[in-house]
Amino acid sequence: MGKNFKRDTVVYQIYPRSYRDSDGDGIGDLRGIISSLDYIASLGVNAIWLSPIYQSPDDDNGYDISDYKAISPKFGTMDDFDELVREAKARGIDIIMDLVINHTSDEHEWFQRALHGEEKYRKYYIIEKGQDGKLPNNWGNFFAECPWTPFGDSTDEYYLHLFSKKQPDLNWHNPDVLAEISDIMRFWLDRGVRGFRCDVINIIYKNTLADGKKRFILTGQEHYLSTDGCHNILKTLRETVLEPYGAWAVGETVFVNLKQARDLCDESRGELDMVFSFEHMEVDQMVVKWFKTKLKPQKLMRCLSKWQGGLDWNAIYFENHDQPRFISRFSDGEGYREKLSMMVAGLAMTLRGTPFVFEGQEIGMTNGDFQNLDEVEDIESHNVYAMAKSLHLPSAYRWRMIQRTSRDNARTPMQWSADEGAGFTTGTPWLKINHNHTEINVERESAREDGVLAFWRYMISLRKSLDVLMDGDFTPLYEGRTVYAYARATRGERVVAIFNMSAKSAKMPKSILCESELIASNYDTVEDTLRPFEFRLVRPLA
Ligand code: TEU
């Protein structure tokens, strides 16, 4: 973690197209966010990470950028953006932008000029000749596509895209690319942005385009994961762009292991401030996320403890726009939505690191309730469904895969009220609103003193006010089948967080039983046993 980073930061992630629609076109926008700033400030967060709002043909909902210096008209204007930065700042909230620099859109001017034969811009991308009528290599693709698409009308040249074919990968061997991206970053920093969330940042630099070792998924990854070239780029960006502005950066780092994470965020190396690791999000999967198993709490605990112990500081998150809603992953969670959501608030705010709260998480939103594939928008879901079909997986199974794992689960519109448009829009929403918005919504939660929202607010305020939650060391105390406990301690203070990650009551482990003062709990009373999804934060006496 670098010196520009404030340890009391709690970040709120907004997926703009699903947050609040101010003009009735069914798509959330910047004015919608501006009008929600008082609510956002009332959560106690002090930074907002905006998923991409740049000009984009929206093949991957804005993660395919066609102009890095323009706001998509769907979201508003540059004036709206400047107002958002100003108004957020007035409430003590920083704006963090999404920086998508592994790839651009194929509609970006650079790619278009490359297609028109401009040599300078050809070198911005990774364009290769096929080998004897075959593709340039055997690599895999994150979206279950072929990663090579013919370049223009060429019959033997292809461009590389690790995501959709409308997302050509940039060539980070070319110093011009670094110069362009640095310029783009300065453009936003000059407008008052405080930092960046760097999309798939650990895969940007490909060492070689040689064939990769055959794997079940993503053959070729050993040639681009956390390469030295990537480390050098991050160092340069930190030194020449971020430092002078006092800005910070969190990296989204796919497949990252502890050693790689350490190298990416070790303060002495001066690269990233923290990373989003994935291991804890993968504890309920077999090989790939599409094959989900039951979430075993003990696996989750061990994974959390491992990462807490292995890094001095990291990003703490349980939801984002790519993952199903976390509380929907507990198969025995039915009927305990509120307790579960509060338990996750307890986890997110007591682990060591910077908490990221995803829009709707603070009211306990659940997975989308899609009935069929026509209701799903996400490109990845459609591709994976088609691939599963080509593999002859039964249709009921295919649909179940999408239902459980689709990224759209987290992208359903924010539930502001019980109204028909959920207070999100007066028009037709771009993605189906969850039926349960009649029950789960901000308006209802705001009127409750003991509801989910009130609990998230309380936990966020504790996280920011208790030094021990901010600076304390992490020590795991107990990792049982469903019960998890750990201590956070500074020289002067020690607190213990206890969780029962199950719908069944559990015994309080003897080793952590002691006289203590209760700081927070998602139950009104204290009992000897731990009730379903109970969370307690206590201060042991003596
Ligand atoms: O995601 C990177 C990524 O690899 C996954 O989390 C992704 O969601 C996919 O499911 C892999 O199976 C980032 C963004 O967060 C995501 O929204 C983008 O689609 C992707 O990069 C490409 O820019």
> Atom 4 (ligand 1): residue with closest C-alpha?
254
Beta-carbon contacts of residue 249 (< 8 Å; ≥ 6 apart)? 99, 195, 196, 197, 198, 237, 238, 242, 272, 273
Residues with CB under 6 A from ligand 1: 60, 63, 100, 142, 163, 199-200, 252, 254, 321-322, 380, 407
Phi, psi of 476 (to 5 degrees): -70, 140
- Is-contact 341 318, C-beta < 8 A? no
Positive or negative CA dihedral for 191, 96, 66, 245? positive
**Cα(380) to centroid of ligand 1, in Å?**
9
**Closest by Cα among 364, 454, 359, 458 to 414:** 359
* Residues composing the chain: 542
**Cα(387) to centroid of ligand 1, in Å?**
18
First CA to last CA distance, the chain? 33
State the pLDDT confidence band at 326, using cuts at 50, 70 and 90: very high
* Residue of 15, 322, 356, 408 best suited for mutating to test ligand 1, as the one with most atoms within 8 Å of CB: 322
Report the pLDDT averaged over residues 526-540.
Answer: 97
**Cα(404) to centroid of ligand 1, in Å?**
17
Tell me which of 43-47, 238-242, 265-269, 275-279 is least confident.
Answer: 265-269
**Cα(174) to centroid of ligand 1, in Å?**
24
So what's the pLDDT on residue 132? 80
Write out the two tokens for 291. 């094959």
Report the pLDDT averaged over residues 64-87.
Answer: 98
Q: Distance between CA 93 and CA 48 in Å, rounded?
A: 7
- Closest atom, ligand 1, to C-alpha of 278: 6
pTM of the model: 0.97
* Residue of 96, 160, 200, 402 best suited for mutating to test ligand 1, as the one with most atoms within 8 Å of CB: 200
Strands 54-55, 516-521: pairing is unpaired
- Enumerate the active-site residues: 199, 252
- pLDDT tens digits, 142-200: 999 999 999 999 889 999 999 999 999 999 999 999 999 999 999 999 999 999 999 99
Angle between helix axes 452-465 and 337-350 (nearest 10 degrees) is: 10
Beta-carbon contacts of residue 365 (< 8 Å; ≥ 6 apart)? 325, 412, 414, 415, 434, 440
> Atom 6 (ligand 1): residue with closest C-alpha?
322
Q: Distance between CA 204 and CA 201 in Å, rounded?
A: 6
Task: Considering only CA atoms, give the Rg of the chain.
Answer: 23
Phi, psi of 462 (to 5 degrees): -65, -45
> Atom 17 (ligand 1): residue with closest C-alpha?
322
Contacts within 8 Å (CB) and 24+ apart, 87-91: 87/34, 87/37, 88/37, 88/48, 89/192, 91/37, 91/38, 91/40, 91/41
Q: Distance between CA 135 and CA 158 in Å, rounded?
A: 8
* Residue of 49, 66, 142, 252 best suited for mutating to test ligand 1, as the one with most atoms within 8 Å of CB: 142
* Percent of the chain whose predicted confidence (pLDDT) is above 90: 96
Q: Distance between CA 86 and CA 80 in Å, rounded?
A: 10
CA dihedral 342→5→465→502, nearest 10 degrees, is 20
Report the pLDDT averaged over residues 246-262.
Answer: 97
**Cα(406) to centroid of ligand 1, in Å?**
12
State the pLDDT confidence band at 473, using cuts at 50, 70 and 90: very high
Q: Distance between CA 134 and CA 148 in Å, rounded?
A: 10
> Atom 7 (ligand 1): residue with closest C-alpha?
322
Q: Distance between CA 453 and CA 459 in Å, rounded?
A: 10
* Percent of the chain whose predicted confidence (pLDDT) is above 70: 100
> Atom 9 (ligand 1): residue with closest C-alpha?
142
> Atom 11 (ligand 1): residue with closest C-alpha?
142
**Cα(315) to centroid of ligand 1, in Å?**
17
State the pLDDT confidence band at 3, using cuts at 50, 70 and 90: confident
Residue with tokens 């010196």: 3
Mean residue pLDDT of the chain comes to 97
| Helix, coil or strand: residue 454 | helix
- pLDDT tens digits, 414-452: 999 999 999 999 999 999 999 999 999 999 999 999 999
